[in-house]
Amino acid sequence: MKLNVHERGTGDKVALLIHGAMSDHRTWHAVEDHLVGLGYRVVAPDLRGHGLSPRGEYRPELLADDLVENLQAGADLAIGHSMGGLSLALAVSRLRPARAVYSDPGFQLGNVPPGATAGMRHMVTTATAESVRAMNPRWSEEDVAAELAGFALFDPEFLSAVEQFEQSYPPESAVVPSLVQLADPSLCVDAEGVALLEERGFEVRVVPQAGHCIHRDDPQGFLKSLDGWI
């Protein structure tokens, strides 16, 4: 599937930024600013069913195939958040970035509380600037605006499909040097998952007191935890 892909920057280094469910590439605005300032060219797709990308069948494997079809292999850095982290993990053996970062990735979807997707659907359809601020008091006004813009273009059928996804998608190996960055507590990776990831070659770092959207809850903490990776 041909995705809408946002690009910015003219640096020699390439960073791929893969957003999570219900968002689009605009969720990365602050991280994008930082990476462009470091000399990266940022490439950030809208996943299928999100942003300006087409709708279609929704399965993690297809999200991964889309990344391979639309993004260049061999980037210097790839970061995936939540569902984007899962999609990146399923595509990483083909994309082969020099380094991969999985930010609170959807590796253990079975840990998401029952009924959560119904709540997410209601949140998307009823969202206002006030409701987004109330749920995310640490976010900037730019984050609030990006969230509302992403919600407006999101296909709610994606959430119906998520309910049918497998409960667990543990990566078999790190494939490339890989960091798993976790919220405190993580929504999608528990202590058993951490042990398994470390056994399989992943470095794991926790961002203290950050929620699932680490890059918006604590931008400085997000970047600090990437020391040595960007």
Cβ distance 58 to 161 under 8 Å?
A: yes
Please state, in angstroms and rounded to a whole number, the distance separating the CA atoms of residues 116 and 118. 5
Q: How many CB atoms lie within 10 A of CB 214?
A: 24
Name the CATH topology of 5-224: Rossmann fold (3.40.50)
Q: Residues 6 or more apart from 33 whose CB is under 8 A from it?
A: none
Q: Where are the beta strands (DSSP E) in the chain?
A: 5-8, 13-18, 40-45, 77-81, 100-103, 178-182, 203-206
The Cα 74–Cα 85 span in angstroms is: 17
Three-class DSSP category at 6? strand
pLDDT of residue 118: 87
pLDDT tens, position by position, 12-25: 999 999 999 999 99
Full-model pTM: 0.97
How far apart are alpha carbons 131 and 220 in whole angstroms? 24
**Token digits of residue 108:** 């253990």
pLDDT tens digits, residue range 24-40?
999 999 999 999 999 99
* pLDDT tens column, 140-174: 999 999 999 999 999 999 999 998 898 899 999 99
Mean pLDDT of 128-135: 97
The domain ranges of the chain are 5-224
CB 82 within 8 A of CB 181: no
Contact call for residues 120 and 39 (beta carbons, < 8 A): no
Q: What are the pLDDT digits (tens) for 82-128?
A: 999 999 999 999 999 999 999 999 999 988 887 788 889 999 999 99
**For residues 15 and 9, what is the distance between their CA atoms, to the nearest angstrom?**
10
